[in-house]
Amino acid sequence: MKTYGYENTNLAVSAPRRYFVWTQIAITFLFLELAIWAPTTHIRNLWSAIAAITILLLVLINVLINILIDSRLSRPSLARLGLGLPGMFGASVVLGIGLATAGFMLILVYSLGGQIPANPAWFPDLQSASGYILWALIQEFILQSFFFNHFEELYGSSAAVWMASTLFAAAHLPNPILTTATLSGALFFCGMFRRYRSIYPLAIVHAMLGLTVGLTTPDSLLHHMRVGMGYLRY
């Protein structure tokens, strides 16, 4: 398996670097939570912008550190971040599993007598679905290129799968459907990222499965796929 990260969990990370990485994780997650739990749209947008700028700046800073300072991190930065083009085999595996899972969910709900679409008046149109694909790409960048890579540096790639997935699921509280779905989904996404290192097929599958959840889950449970304060105020 070709790797760009930290497969060896015994790789020594200096104390200053460890504190720096954990500070990045904590600050970024705090900013995201402040956006998710903001009481007004204006405040939510403000914290979302702060979180986005912070993530981009920290990613750039870490790329520079990888290139200029730490010789152990001389791996291709774009490849390690998952921003390189996916390999044909890896993309086929990810897309194939995603398509099969979406199909299974639809068949299961239909066989149990569920309505599809579950929310005819709310389910997004083609334009909204296209926007959701972009949002899925942004989420995969945050999950993989930022959180997974940071946990991988500290604890190795196996532990990073679980740690990044748990953090990602926690960001979807208190929505029980999305929290459960994102935990299982993130375990798959992070596992595939660990192996094939590209966020693009993951984003397509992320959007595919997210739309399938919206297609098959009553809005009385899903609350328009809202999280945080938005879920409580639905």
Rg (CA), the chain: 18
Mean pLDDT of 88-117: 96
Domain residues of the chain, as ranges?
A: 15-232
**Cα separations in angstroms, 34 against 17, 50, 135, 154:** 26, 10, 19, 25
Mean pLDDT of 28-41: 97
**pLDDT above 90 as % of the chain:** 78
Instruction: Please give the helix or strand (H or E) that residue 71 lies within, else none.
Output: none
What is the overall mean pLDDT for the chain?
90
Residue 113 pLDDT exceeds 70: yes
Please report, as a single letter, which amino acid is at residue 2. K
pLDDT in tens, 210-221: 999 999 999 999
Lowest-pLDDT range, 45-54, 71-80, 89-98?
Answer: 71-80
Could you give the CA distance from residue 49 to residue 46 in angstroms, rounded to a whole number? 5
E-strand spans in 19-130? none
Helix (H, G, I), strand (E, B), or coil: what is residue 116?
Answer: coil
Could you give the CA distance from residue 2 to residue 194 in angstroms, rounded to a whole number? 10
Task: Write down the pLDDT at residue 127.
Answer: 76
CA angle, corner 133, sides to 130 and 134, nearest 5? Answer: 95
Q: Kindly report the pTM of this predicted structure.
A: 0.92
Could you give the CA distance from residue 195 to residue 210 in angstroms, rounded to a whole number? 22
Lowest-pLDDT range, 4-8, 16-20, 114-118, 210-214?
Answer: 4-8
Residue 7 pLDDT exceeds 80: no
Sign of CA dihedral 124, 130, 131, 136: positive
Q: How confident is the model at residue 10 (pLDDT cuts 50, 70, 90)?
A: very low
**pLDDT above 70 as % of the chain:** 91
Q: How confident is the model at residue 70 (pLDDT cuts 50, 70, 90)?
A: low
DSSP of 154-216, one letter per residue?
HH-HHHHHHHHHHHHHHTTTT-HHHHHHHHHHHHHHHHHHHHH--HHHHHHHHHHHHHHHHHH
